[in-house]
A and B are shown apart, each in its own frame.
Chain A
Amino acid sequence: MKKDQKRFKQLQLIKDCNNFNELIEQIDYSSGNTDDLTTVVLDYMDKQTVMLYYESLIDSQKQSNLLEWMSEMFWKTEELPDTLDVKQQGPNLSIAAAINILLSGETLIVFNDGDTWTITSIKSLKVFQRSLQEPKNEQIVRGSHTGFNENLIVNLNLVRSRLKSPHLVIKYFTIGSYSNTKGALIYLNDIADPMHVEEFMMRLQAIDIDLAFSVGYIEEFIEDSNYSPFPQFLNTEKPERTAGNLIEGRIAFILDGSPTALLAPVNFFSFYQSPDDYNGRFLVGTFYRLLRIASFLIALLLPAIYIATISYHFEIIPEDLTLPAKRAVENIPYPPLVEALILELTIELIREAGVRLPNPIGQTIGIVGGLVIGDAVVNAGFISNLMVIVVALTAISSFVVPSVEMNTTVRILRFPFMLLASLFGFIGVAAGLIILLVHLIKLESLTSPYLSPLAPFHLSGIKDTFIRLPASKLRTRAADAQPIKKNRYGRNRWWKHAKK
């Protein structure tokens, strides 16, 4: 190869080539003699033209049309038809730039009549894409069932068609030195805080990686704290959830190849909101919001409270329950912590096994694991039936969260609490809870406070976090995104109070 380099004189610009053979040689050399770079040469008398493309990137159907047109044009010297996405390139196009154009899925057509080079590029990228489906991990009862797919343009279309406003701004980024993946930052320029937009752009530009693997991978390079167990960016596969967050003044990032939008700045309670809350009646929405917050506490603390009660504070069990509880726990050979760990880890195993398996088998595993093991383990006398109730309730509660990242966080976090409970009882749990609370207060998402409507406290923030008031009352935006326009809309339902 080194020998080759010495012999081969590399040229910089296309127009420096003497003839087509040299041009093809140059491009072939610069692209590493890859086999999928195809060249088609038409040569008659003094007229010459060449078409170059990566056959692995282009749409073969388009290409055959193109070939037809090219030959027609070659003979009749007509302009290329308008229907094609044609771009004239300047005469000073370098070889490296030409290869970049080819890599982005365009076809290059080069004419040469004597000494002038005419270079034309035509978009012919073939994209294979999945049809739009409902995201499996964000299923809702009512409302739009469309989800993002892996194509950036399709995803942007889904967002823009929901927010047809001149204020919706999309900024493109290219990430990954090898993958050259395109990403798009989306925000509403008259609502989103410019400081946040600038910060987000700065963090994206600071990324220096080889392969932009997925949005979740990129998230680790731009989030505020790597070591926190809590996700600081909200992932969603639903366009209307994205649009709803954009209108609150948040910023979205979509990466080509990932069916996910990354939203920031978010607060802790954003992870507990679901589009379903807005589709039903407000009382129902409020009830489920409260239920989800309660599920967070149950999933986090119930095993710990149970362990602490059984091993330290038996006296808090009311009199009527003392005997049944005592009977259940008495003959168990293990301390409550070991008992809980065995069962919790079993549940985690069942879950992990169920995720990877195809649907029908996954369900079978769930039944075998949950029912059979649960029943057998109690009958064998390893684990008390109270513990089975506690662990099952905990597992169900942890799956209530409408966000995948947050529910894994909660499931991991309950283990330290169980340990604290078995070592120090209630006091240990309380100390752990304080550390968790302080951590949440310290945590930031895109430099805005994570526990926002609670710390710092905003009374107006409560109306769309813990509870959901009727939509006509939600007239101001959430404060944590620090939107420029505080008000969402004017007074609705005025006819209700208008004089008859």
Chain B
Amino acid sequence: MQKNSITGWQFCFLTLQTQMGMSALSMPSLIANKAGQDAWISMILGGLIVQVIILMYMWLIVRCKNSSYFDFLAIVFGKVIGKFLLLLTILYIIFIMILVTASYQQLITDWINIYTPGWIIVLLLLIPSLYLSIDSISLIARFSMLISFLIPVLLIVVLFVYAEPQFFYLLPIGSEGLDSIIKGVIPAIAALSGFEMILFTSHFLKGNKLAGLKKGMIGSGLVTLIYIYLIISVQIFFYIDELKIVPYPVLYIMKALSLMIIDRIDILFLTFWIIISTAVCVNYLFVAGISMQSLFNLQAHRHMIMVTITSIMIFIGSIFIDSKIEITEIQNQLFEVGVGLVVLIPFLTLIFSLITKRLGNN
């Protein structure tokens, strides 16, 4: 009983880690490509929209009562359609994970281990993730909470930009026009994806559910604040035309920094960033495990097998994507479709459950 429940703060960090690991390093240039020098405004708007989506999730979760979201789909839509929507969600999870591992692998092979084959990097990411994700949610939440000390490290290293800030790179505010700001909101929301963890793991919350969900909201809000800070820091360091062609601006900032004992902080930092990426893999692998249990009506002890199968699929998928397709091209589009999926399906579920007055099990 104790092992299958998490506290509010653990829930907060679970959400935070999932969101942070997705695209914190590459997100500024992706948004700047659309929104230009007003990227940070797009991020603020994106963060607000995500908070609204989370409010919608909360309404839905309250209607779920004690059943998980995955079980609730079948309750609301009936077996066939419910399971179909569940299958879509699982596919989304697997695709997101393939993208995360593939883009991480590309980052590492581009940046530090140039001669190491990509599949080894993927294995180094997946094996530790698998080791943790076969275990219970409370251990996963403890891990998420434990590794959060890395985020202050990121914030402090980036602080170095403020030694010579070029604030006029941000001026004049709003010069790109409302049009491009709104265009930038979509990659901003995509960068914040991971907030669906609130929906997927809320049934593990113990005690007061609403209080726990609010902590989840705080976690997501913190990510938005961190991202806004990162975007502004990057924007006052790079001129906007530079920013559009620099793929990992945060890493470039670190590369410029040189300490007395260590020269290339970016390499050391990227090494430790694998821990954050592992957290994302762990969280999604675990969710994939429990959602597949729900899809095939399996017993809890099959969780390990499901997670293992998922990670093998992800391993094969990420090698395939690496060799066939340019990741950065499809990344955004797929993210956008995926985010649409995790917003649309819960919204439909909420509407349907309101119409049919169907509630989850107690």
Task: Tell me if chain B binds chain A.
Answer: yes
Chain A positions near chain B (C-beta within 8 angstroms): 312-313, 315-319, 424-431, 433-435, 437-439, 441-442, 449, 451, 454-457
**Closest A-B pairs by Cβ, 3 of them:** A455-B142, A426-B271, A434-B128
Question: What's the Cα separation between A118 and B108 when bound, in Å?
Answer: 87
Q: How far is the CB of B126 from chain A (nearest CB, A)?
A: 10
Other CB < 8 Å A-B pairs besides A318-B261, A438-B131, A441-B142, 14 of them?
A: A312-B112, A313-B264, A316-B268, A319-B263, A424-B113, A426-B267, A426-B268, A431-B124, A431-B128, A433-B275, A434-B274, A434-B278, A441-B132, A455-B143
Q: 8 Å CB contacts to A: which residues of B117-144?
A: 120-121, 124-125, 127-128, 131-132, 135, 138-139, 142-143
Contact residues in A for B127 (Cβ distance below 8 Å): 431, 435
Name B's interface SS.
Answer: helix
Question: What's the Cα separation between A76 and B5 when bound, in Å?
Answer: 77
Q: Are B116 and A430 in contact (CB under 8 A)?
A: no
User: Which of A319, A426, A437, A442 is within 8 Å of B112, CB to CB?
Assistant: A426
Contact residues in B for A317 (Cβ distance below 8 Å): 263
A454 to chain B: closest residue by CB: B146
User: Which of A316, A430, A434 is within 8 Å of B262, CB to CB?
Assistant: A316
User: Which of A313, A424, A449, A454 is within 8 Å of B120, CB to CB?
Assistant: A424
Question: What's the Cα separation between A456 and B136 when bound, in Å?
Answer: 13
B261 to chain A: closest residue by CB: A318
Q: Are B262 and A427 in contact (CB under 8 A)?
A: no
Question: What's the Cα separation between A457 and B142 when bound, in Å?
Answer: 7
Question: What's the Cα separation between A424 and B274 when bound, in Å?
Answer: 13
Q: Are B146 and A442 in contact (CB under 8 A)?
A: no
Contact residues in A for B263 (Cβ distance below 8 Å): 315-319
Question: What's the Cα separation between A316 and B145 when bound, in Å?
Answer: 29
A319 to chain B: closest residue by CB: B263
Q: Does B59 contact A (CB under 8 A)?
A: no
Q: Are A427 and B139 in contact (CB under 8 A)?
A: no
Question: What's the Cα separation between A264 and B274 when bound, in Å?
Answer: 34
Q: Are A455 and B146 in contact (CB under 8 A)?
A: yes
Q: Does B1 contact A (CB under 8 A)?
A: no
B147 to chain A: closest residue by CB: A437
Q: Does B272 contact A (CB under 8 A)?
A: yes
Known contacts: A442-B135, A455-B145. The answer to whether A313 contacts B274 by CB under 8 A is: no
Contact residues in A for B120 (Cβ distance below 8 Å): 424
User: Which of B113, B138, B258, B264 is within 8 Å of A427, CB to CB?
Assistant: B113
Q: 8 Å CB contacts to A: which residues of B82-134?
A: 108, 112-113, 116, 120-121, 124-125, 127-128, 131-132
Contact residues in A for B125 (Cβ distance below 8 Å): 431
Q: Are B271 and A438 in contact (CB under 8 A)?
A: no
Q: Does B80 contact A (CB under 8 A)?
A: no
Interface centre among B258, B268, B271, B275 (most CB of A within 10 A): B271
Contact residues in B for A428 (Cβ distance below 8 Å): 124
A455 to chain B: closest residue by CB: B142
Q: Does B260 contact A (CB under 8 A)?
A: yes
Query: How does the 8 Å CB contact mask read for B160-189 relative to A, with 1 for contact and 0 for none?
Result: 000000000000000000000000000000
Known contacts: A317-B263, A454-B146. The answer to whether A438 contacts B268 by CB under 8 A is: no
Q: How large is the interface on B (under 10, 10 to 19, 20 to 34, 35 or more residues)?
A: 35 or more
Q: How far is the CB of B192 from chain A (nearest CB, A)?
A: 25
Can you sample 22 A-B contacts with CB below 8 Å?
A313-B264, A315-B267, A318-B258, A424-B120, A424-B124, A425-B113, A425-B116, A426-B112, A426-B267, A426-B271, A428-B124, A429-B271, A431-B127, A431-B128, A434-B278, A437-B143, A437-B275, A441-B142, A441-B143, A441-B146, A442-B132, A455-B145
Contact residues in B for A438 (Cβ distance below 8 Å): 128, 131-132, 143
Q: Are B146 and A457 in contact (CB under 8 A)?
A: yes
Q: How far is the CB of B328 from chain A (nearest CB, A)?
A: 21
Q: Are B264 and A316 in contact (CB under 8 A)?
A: yes
Q: Are A318 and B260 in contact (CB under 8 A)?
A: yes
Q: How far is the CB of A230 from chain B (nearest CB, A)?
A: 16
Q: Are A430 and B274 in contact (CB under 8 A)?
A: yes
User: Which of A427, A449, A456 is within 8 Å of B124, CB to CB?
Assistant: A427
Question: What's the Cα separation between A65 and B8 when bound, in Å?
Answer: 72
Question: What's the Cα separation between A428 and B268 when bound, in Å?
Answer: 12
Interface centre among A425, A431, A442 (most CB of B within 10 A): A431
Q: How far is the CB of A94 from chain B (nearest CB, A)?
A: 49
Q: Are A313 and B267 in contact (CB under 8 A)?
A: yes
Q: How far is the CB of B24 from chain A (nearest CB, A)?
A: 17
Interface centre among B112, B120, B272 (most CB of A within 10 A): B112
Interface centre among A318, A433, A455 (most CB of B within 10 A): A455
Contact residues in B for A425 (Cβ distance below 8 Å): 112-113, 116
User: Which of B113, B135, B146, B261 is within 8 Å of A437, CB to CB?
Assistant: B146
Contact residues in A for B267 (Cβ distance below 8 Å): 313, 315-316, 426
Contact residues in B for A455 (Cβ distance below 8 Å): 142-143, 145-146
Contact residues in B for A430 (Cβ distance below 8 Å): 124, 271-272, 274-275
Q: Are A427 and B274 in contact (CB under 8 A)?
A: yes
A440 to chain B: closest residue by CB: B146
Q: How far is the CB of B13 from chain A (nearest CB, A)?
A: 9
Question: What's the Cα separation between A319 and B116 when bound, in Å?
Answer: 26
Question: What's the Cα separation between A428 and B262 when bound, in Å?
Answer: 19
Q: Are A318 and B262 in contact (CB under 8 A)?
A: yes
Contact residues in B for A316 (Cβ distance below 8 Å): 262-264, 267-268
Q: How far is the CB of B257 from chain A (nearest CB, A)?
A: 12
Question: What's the Cα separation between A433 and B124 when bound, in Å?
Answer: 11
Q: How far is the CB of A39 from chain B (nearest CB, A)?
A: 61
Question: What's the Cα separation between A315 and B268 when bound, in Å?
Answer: 11
Q: How far is the CB of A313 from chain B (nearest CB, A)?
A: 6
Contact residues in A for B275 (Cβ distance below 8 Å): 430, 433-434, 437
Q: How far is the CB of B129 from chain A (nearest CB, A)?
A: 8
Interface centre among A318, A434, A441 (most CB of B within 10 A): A434
B149 to chain A: closest residue by CB: A454
Question: What's the Cα separation between A441 and B268 when bound, in Å?
Answer: 24
Question: What's the Cα separation between A431 and B113 when bound, in Å?
Answer: 14
Q: Are A435 and B271 in contact (CB under 8 A)?
A: no
Q: 8 Å CB contacts to A: which residues of B245-272?
A: 258-264, 267-268, 271-272
Q: Are A442 and B139 in contact (CB under 8 A)?
A: yes
Question: What's the Cα separation between A437 and B272 when bound, in Å?
Answer: 13
Contact residues in B for A456 (Cβ distance below 8 Å): 10, 138, 142, 145
Contact residues in B for A435 (Cβ distance below 8 Å): 127-128, 131
Question: What's the Cα separation between A403 and B139 when bound, in Å?
Answer: 27
A431 to chain B: closest residue by CB: B124
Contact residues in A for B108 (Cβ distance below 8 Å): 427
Question: What's the Cα separation between A165 and B351 when bound, in Å?
Answer: 65
Contact residues in A for B264 (Cβ distance below 8 Å): 313, 315-316
Question: What's the Cα separation between A439 and B262 when bound, in Å?
Answer: 30
User: Which of A318, A427, A437 is within 8 Å of B121, CB to CB?
Assistant: A427
Q: Are B145 and A457 in contact (CB under 8 A)?
A: yes
Question: What's the Cα separation between A215 and B146 when bound, in Å?
Answer: 33
Question: What's the Cα separation between A429 and B113 when bound, in Å?
Answer: 13
Contact residues in A for B262 (Cβ distance below 8 Å): 316, 318
Q: Are B146 and A427 in contact (CB under 8 A)?
A: no
Q: Are B112 and A427 in contact (CB under 8 A)?
A: yes
